[in-house]
Amino acid sequence: MGATIADEKPQRIAKIIARAGLCSRREAERWIEAGRVAVDGKVLTSPAVAVAAAARITVDGKPMRAAEATRLWRYHKPDGVVTSTQDTRGRPTVFEKLPPDMPRVLAVGRLDLTSEGLLLLTNDGELKRRLEHPSTGWVRRYRVRVHGTVTDDALAALAKGLTVESIRYGPIVATLDSTRGSNSWLTMALREGKNREIRRVCEHLGWTVSRLIRTSYGPFQLGTLERGQVEEVPARVLDDQTGSEVRHKAKASRDARNRR
């Protein structure tokens, strides 16, 4: 028997898989196109399918587990660790460093190999998608150490947004915190978070980034979390910050467990 959908309203199959915490919605769509997902014994080949509440879902022939209550963790990512489930070059990954009692989780956004600081982790692929989406509008803040001369004109250019190698980067609010010799510490705040955005705009301005630490992602703060430490966000705080959709999913998950 496969998992029964907790919500009564039909939903897109990729969204259901993501909400069960198996993967992101985009990855779920790839699974479906590869023929790995079946509904009521019929293998799907397109994600453009809305699935009713009574449907039974299997992935790779195995029943898909029912969605659990949404959870979120703060993790202090050290440098030298990649944000991926596996690395072809054999480098250590974030997920290898997590405590053994952690459930399967997904990273919200990425921090590259040499970047540090706050990384959010969740067991809910749909929440991951929501928190990463530009429409959320959450500010991500970073402490950045650069080598090079920081001028008022350069900071003003960042505030207006820059185009680097045909890629348009949105406004970045940057303040100069301190300078010692040719090295400066900046605080940067941005809303988009394109791949390697800070490093690329800094290089465009003639600065070399020697350290990059994310200190916050929306309302969630790195705070005093030690390097390599992970701490769950209390359910009440998660509820307050992410709204009624999370409450609805948690209730639906409990109802599904009670019916079994």
**Positions marked active-site:** 112
Q: What is the DSSP secondary structure assignment for residue 181, as one 8-state letter? A: T
Return the residue matching tokens 């991951």.
128
Return the residue matching tokens 């299997």.
58
- Sequence-ordered list of residues with C-beta below 8 angstroms from that of 146, at least 6 positions apart, any chain: 183, 184, 186, 202, 207, 208, 209, 210
Q: What does the CA dihedral 21, 22, 25, 31 come to, rounded to 10 degrees?
A: -170
Residue 219's nearest CA partner among 137, 122, 138 is 138
> What's the per-residue H, E or C state across 53-83?
CCCEEEECCEECCCCCCCCEEEEEECCCCEC
Q: Is 45 helix (H, G, I), strand (E, B) or coil?
A: coil
Nearest-angstrom CA–CA distance, 9 and 237 = 27
